[in-house]
Chain A
Amino acid sequence: MSQDIFVVIEHLRGQIADVSYVMLAGARQLAQNTSGKVMAVLLGHNAQGLANSLAADGVLYIDHPALAEFTFDAYQLALADLIKAQSPRAVIFGHSSVGMDVASTLSAKLGAPVVSSCQSFTADGKFVSQICGGKIMAEGDLPGPIALVTMVPGGYKAEQGQSSQASEMTNMAAPAMDGIRVTLKQYIEPDTSDVDIVKEAVLVSVGRGIQNKDNIELANELASALGCAVSASRPVVDQGWMPTTRLVGKSGKRVKPKIYLALGISGAPEHVEGMGDSQVIIAVNTDPNAPIYNIAKYGTTVDMFELLPVLTDKIKQAK
């Protein structure tokens, strides 16, 4: 039984996912409270090099061909084995398509409680989770003896979890990978024939508040006048009103434009994950209590359908 904090590093096709750094930063805070070490857990195949930028006290590396890319069975077998053997105080996963697949599974398997959507830890080692579309925060003591945690970004900056100094790596044995039931066939690339919203300096983004496909025309006109692109939140894409290439958010793209104009977007965490790092967010939402106002620099509750044509006109005049 140790007081160490493990962080399950997420990587996809040779790239460390940002959430890994956020987790390391959170782990550092927690470790201060438990007086344990921050240990990065890296699973992969010939992936040692990925450990270089991780800010951790040590790296536990498990190599196996079955771990080359993330799949459910291989990862949960390796992690269950490791956690049982090492008994850390806590294991942090990303609240993501990787972490969420295995965190709860391991909770059931090991009888260890799992805390969801944790955004940060307090100075006295409590978890603070963000739930209900970002409207409610839930705080509590870190359960034990081993706590599993899925983390969402927002509480720490990725830079806090990065380091230029590689930490000591320990090779751990992989368990027998018997009974694998989940296999990766192939990756399907996102459509690159469309505009790459990641490269835009300004984005005009539409959310549920746009109400129907035809109103998007108003956003298109503004974007035209500005010489930028239109992006969208999940509800708009799900309805088929905009292609998935324009999706900003957890399941879409991560953008960091200079200006992000959020039209009729409530600011739910899944969307904020994709645009929270924008330099300046201007939110147009008639609901003064919309969570978007918590991260926006400027806001207005005027009706967007009234605003857009007037704004487009003024932009044209200003150019």
Chain B
Amino acid sequence: MFLDALLMFVSILLPSVTGFAIIAAMDRKGLTNGLERAALSFGIGITYSFAALLPYFAAGFVIIAALMKKKALFTGRVETSPEKTSAVEKTLGAVFLALIAVKLFLPLLNVFIWPPYFDDAVTTWDFKAKVIFTAGGLGAGGSEEFLGGGLLNYPLGTPLFKAWMGIFAGTWNTSLVHLYDFAIFASMTAVFYAFLRRHASFAIAAAFTYVLASIPLMSFHAHGGHADMAVGYYLLASVLLLSRWFQTGETSFLYMTAITSAAMTFTKNEGLVLYAPAIVLTFLFLIAKTDAPLRERIKKIAVPCAVFLVLAGPWLMVKVLYGLSVGGGKLGIHGEAFTELAAVFFWEEGAFNILSAGTVLILFTNLRLFKDMTFLSYFAPFALTFLATLAVFVFTSNYEWLYLRTTINRSFLIISPLLVFSLGIFTGLTFSKEKFKKSKRVE
């Protein structure tokens, strides 16, 4: 068990190291600091694994490191909130960090002591991974092993990485493969804190990171074997990187957005149908707000699109070639959904603590901020994904799942990190003495 755990930990560490190197290689100007690079490294690194280059993690890191100056690999320009941290803030921040540690510890413990239990994990995500692990590949078309068996239209990002963990450890451990879920949870928490810290004080960044980590439903998804949190992580990372591009004008952030967006579409079908369009629309909105000439704008759109297509293209082609659906449902209007949604958001469910009411109340305190482009660069994609999610339950036969409460909370779990981050930025902006510190565009 200990050796299996160690090997699986290393199987997570390897792509993380490669991811770290990839970010450092792309961010030549050092606009990301060490914490941000480390936080993003796992997400970026496993995207690399989707390109079927699993055995080359270590080699990739060495080559990239050799091409770069050692210093540039590990350092970036450290920029944090302009406010000085007082002793009280330091204490409060430390308390929140301790609470975050508790929130990380319990799911980690559960990875080791829980058996595979939840339905979607054993029927789809873990099952496909085990089939790929056992078959040593994706199987021939028409065979039982093809694309991991089971439901063929489900994206393979999560099963492929779990299969890689098993291959690296040399065994299939039904509990320990859920270290992947924990790694996603921990990465998401770290990315959230690292990016928010740039714009908010230590205490506020730690407080909102604690809020994210303590969303009740998150505790099961951090070790339960579902892919909802993973797609939520990629959505969050994509929006954060896109917003950083808008703030800095640095193209490398667009490439990274393309990478994480491709990973998102390869994690769950919702990533392709609901969230990728929201990111594209936000991108178009932000690019329209820049003062670059038209030719430059077209170039800015074309290059990340190409990166996205290179990474997501193979899976999209498989979808087209084999006629794999992306889900859906019969169209229709279900007005009664709004009553159910109100019950879910405000009184009947405990999956999100008081996030719904808290959001409304916080946002109403400073309506002027809705004119702030930096805030909007985070909030607009949330609003779009929120509306897209609502539309699924209000205008399609998926209303049934809202009524049964099987998917509604999971759907909102995916976009909740983005919402909490928007609230964190909102609060940071309001508190900030210098209003908001936009990273200076690199000349």
Q: Do A and B come from one complex?
A: no
State the B residues within 8 Å of A (CB): none
